[in-house]
Amino acid sequence: MIGRLKGILISKQPPWLVVDVGGVGYELEAPMSTVFDLPQTGREVALFTHYAVKEDTVVLYGFLRESERILFRTLQKVSGIGAKTALAVLSGVSVDEFARLVQTGDIAALTRIPGIGKKTAERIVVELRDRVDGMAMAVPGFAEGSVPKDAVSEATVALQQLGYKPAEAVRLVKEAAQSGDAAEAIIRKALKAALR
């Protein structure tokens, strides 16, 4: 099993990353909370990983912080939550914000995360209330990256991959995007606006 990777960040196309470790390019799927804090491509990065094997696929997930990987794994223990929804949760709220929502039983805020309906939110609160203590870490910062050629399109695609419907993703990006913004900045602002 692969638990951690350290190498050069070759590609960053949310939610996908490629990290070169000794000449081997590992493709990882990562939540936006990790993507926001990554260095620019060409720099060294260390990621905690979760290796998932299913009948027809093998996926490697990457996280900058151990707390994110723990939450990713913990969420999948809740009935009805898979990797895609767990990534959407991590992309929509920080670990400590999620812990706060669960501890206070804020069903309304949880249902604003893509892929989380009322019943799933209620299950999360019931099943995880005792498990989120001590899971919270500091709110992640944001590392500025270079501006991609088409940041708006990249942000729109990333939101759709996180579970937003195409029309909703376009609207959120249109409202969030400002001239010169990198895709990561647009995605972050769009996700914050969606949770209001």
Name the segment(s) of the chain with CATH classification 1.10.8.10: 151-194
User: Can you read off the two tokens belonging to residue 104?
Assistant: 């206070």
Q: What is the pLDDT of residue 135?
A: 57
Q: How far apart are CA 53 and CA 158, in angstroms?
A: 23
Cα separations in angstroms, 126 against 42, 119, 163: 43, 11, 24
Pick 66-128's CATH classification: 3.40.50.300, 3.20.20.240, 1.10.150.20, 3.40.50.261.
Answer: 1.10.150.20
Q: What is the pLDDT of residue 165?
A: 78
Q: What is the pLDDT of residue 134?
A: 55
CATH number of 151-194: 1.10.8.10
Q: What is the pLDDT of residue 75?
A: 93
CATH level 2 (architecture), domain 4-63: Beta Barrel (2.40)
Q: What is the pLDDT of residue 133?
A: 61
Of 161, 138, 150, 137, nearest in space to 183 by CA: 150
pTM value > 0.75 = no
Q: What is the pLDDT of residue 2?
A: 85
Tokens 């009805």 belong to residue:
80
Helix axes 95-104 and 66-75, enclosed angle (nearest 10): 40
pLDDT beneath 50, residues of the chain:
136-149
Q: What is the pLDDT of residue 144?
A: 32
Q: Alpha helix (H) ranges present in 23-144?
A: 32-37, 66-75, 83-92, 95-104, 107-111, 118-128
User: Can you read off the two tokens belonging to residue 34?
Assistant: 């990790």
